[in-house]
Amino acid sequence: MYLSQQTFNSVLPTNVIFGVNSVRESLTVKIKEFNKSKVFIATDPGLVKAGIPDEIQSLLKENGINGIIFSEVEPNPHAVTVMKGADLYKAESCDMILAVGGGSVMDFSKAVGVMVSHSGHILDYRRGEKPVVNEIPTLFAIPTTVGTGSEVTNVSVVTDHEAGRKYVVASPILVPMIAFVDPSLTTSLPRHVVATTGIDALVHALEAFTSVRSTPITDGLALQAIKMLKDHLPPSYAHPDNLEARSQVHLASTIAGLAFGLGGVGLVHSCSHPMSAIYHVPHGLANAILLPYVIKYNLISNYKKYADIARIFDPSLTFENDKVAAERLVDLLNDFNQSLNIPKDFSYLGIEFTKEMVDRLSHDAMEDKGTIPNNPRKVVREDIIEIYNQVLPLYQEGESAE
C-alpha cells in the first residue's frame, strides 16, 4: 500500500534501559523514583536455582525495599497460577510487580496485574471477552532469556489447561513501564534455550516485517533485529562467554518485541500456540520448527519483502531478482536452524498424530484471533492442515512427514 494512503499510530511506551549490569546500577533507583516499597517478584524455579531472584531480593533489601518472591511460574503459565499469584500480591499488600524471567514470567506478571486491578477470573479478560480497563500496578520487566520481546509488548498469553487452549489478554495498559535489558543476566542460560528463544526473536521480527499491519517504523525495527540475530545468534549459541554476541542478541530480542508489539505476528504463531497448549512444546522451539514451512507457504504474498530478508542471510542474492531470492529463504532458514541444532520437525515428541489430532490443532490455529488476521497470505484451514502434515509424524502409513 502507498504510504500516502496509510494512517497508523506507533506508541513505544516502555523505557528500555540497556547495559551490562544495568539492573544492579538502575533498578533500585527507578523503584524509588516511582515511590514503591514492597515489590512482588515474579519468577520461575529454574531462575531460583540460578540464584537470580535472590540476588535481586538482596539488592532491594540493601536499599530498604521489601521483595516478595513468587517462583511457581511454569512454561506457558496456567490461569490457575495467575490467580494464585494475584492472591499472594494482595495478601502481602505489594505495590508493584517485577517480572524476572522469560516470556512466561512476563505473561504471568501482566496477567497478575489484571487480576489485582479487576474482579473475576483471568480468563474473563481474554481477547473477545471483557476489556482490561483499570490501570494495573506499576510493572517493571527484567528479561533473562534472549527471545521473548514481551518486556515491551501489551500482550499476555495464558494457558487454560482444562481446555488445552492458549488465550491472549491484551491491552495498552499491560505494557511494562521499564524494561531492564541486562545481558549479564543471560550468561547462565542453557544453550538450547539460547537457540530456541533466539529463533523466537527472529520469528517475531520476520512476522512483524511481513505482517499486513507493518509500517515503515516496524520495518526499520524488524530489519535491524534480523541483521543482529543473523550475525550474532550463532556465536552466542556457540559460546556463553561471548558477551558481545550475547549483548547483541539480547537487545535484538527487545527490538523485535517493539516491532511485533506494533506490527503483530502471523501464522507461525497461530500454528505454534496449539503445539504448546496441547503438547507442551516450548514456544520458541515450536516457532523455530514451523518457521521454514510457514515462510514457504507465505512467499507468494510478498516476494519483495521475503527477498529483503533472504539478502540479509545471503548478500550474494543482491544480484538475483526478488522471486528467486525469496525462494532461497526457505533453505537459508533451514540451514540457520540446523546450525543451532533445531529439529526439522516434531518427530522428537515420539507421538504419531492421527487425523483427529491434526484437525484439533488446525481448528485451534484458525481460532488464534490475534495472529491469523495479520498473516500476509489469507489463511484457510486446509492450508494449515497441510503445514501440520509436513511437520508432524502422521499415524496413517504413506503420509509421513517430509
- What average pLDDT does this structure show over 313-330? 98
Domains 15-186 and 191-391 share a fold: no
Q: How far is CA 31 from CA 24, 220, 242, 309, 375, in A?
A: 12, 32, 31, 40, 39
pTM to 2 decimals?
A: 0.93
Q: Where are the domains of the chain?
A: 15-186, 191-391
Count CB neighbours of 246 within 10 A.
26
347-354 long-range contacts, CB within 8 A, separation 24+: 347/393, 347/401, 349/279, 349/281, 349/393, 351/279, 351/393, 352/393, 352/394, 352/395, 353/388, 353/392, 353/393, 353/394, 353/395, 354/394, 354/395
Q: Class of 15-186 per CATH?
A: alpha beta
Q: What is the pLDDT of residues 206-226, one digit of tens each?
A: 999 999 999 999 999 999 999
Q: How many Å apart are CA 151 and CA 186, to the nearest integer? A: 15
Q: How many Å apart are CA 15 and CA 125, to the nearest integer? A: 26
- What average pLDDT does this structure show over 234-257? 96
Looking at residue 115, its pLDDT comes to 98
Looking at residue 396, its pLDDT comes to 60
- What average pLDDT does this structure show over 372-377? 97
Q: How many Å apart are CA 183 and CA 161, to the nearest integer? A: 33
328 close to 336: Cβ distance less than 8 angstroms: no
- What average pLDDT does this structure show over 397-401? 47
Instruction: Identify the residue whose cell numbers are 550474532.
Output: 232
In which element (H, E) is residue 270 found?
helix 267-279
Looking at residue 397, its pLDDT comes to 54
Instruction: Identify the residue whose cell numbers are 550468561.
Output: 187
pLDDT at 401 over 80: no
Looking at residue 52, its pLDDT comes to 95
pLDDT at 190 over 80: yes
Banded model confidence at residue 395, pLDDT cuts 50, 70, 90? confident
Most confident range (mean pLDDT) of 11-15, 87-91, 278-282 is 87-91
Looking at residue 400, its pLDDT comes to 44
Q: What percent of the chain has pLDDT over 70?
A: 98
Looking at residue 399, its pLDDT comes to 46
Which cell numbers hold the place of 31? Answer: 523503584
Looking at residue 402, its pLDDT comes to 43
Give Cβ neighbours of residue 29 (< 8 Å, ≥ 6 apart).
none
Q: How many Å apart are CA 261 and CA 64, to the nearest integer? A: 35
Banded model confidence at residue 258, pLDDT cuts 50, 70, 90? very high
CATH number given to 191-391: 1.20.1090.10
Query: b or e along 127-165 (b: 16 or more beta carbons within 10 Å of the residue's beta carbon)?
Result: eeeeebeeebbbbbbbbbbbbbbbbbbbbbbbbbeeeeb
Give Cβ neighbours of residue 88 (< 8 Å, ≥ 6 apart).
40, 68, 70
Give Cβ neighbours of residue 114 (< 8 Å, ≥ 6 apart).
122, 125, 132, 136, 156, 169, 174
Q: What is the pLDDT of residues 345-366, one digit of tens each?
A: 999 999 999 999 999 999 999 9
Which cell numbers hold the place of 287? Answer: 516457532
pLDDT at 131 over 60: yes
Most confident range (mean pLDDT) of 187-196, 332-341, 387-396 is 332-341
Q: How many Å apart are CA 242 and CA 232, to the nearest integer? A: 10
Q: How many Å apart are CA 65 and CA 38, to the nearest integer? A: 6
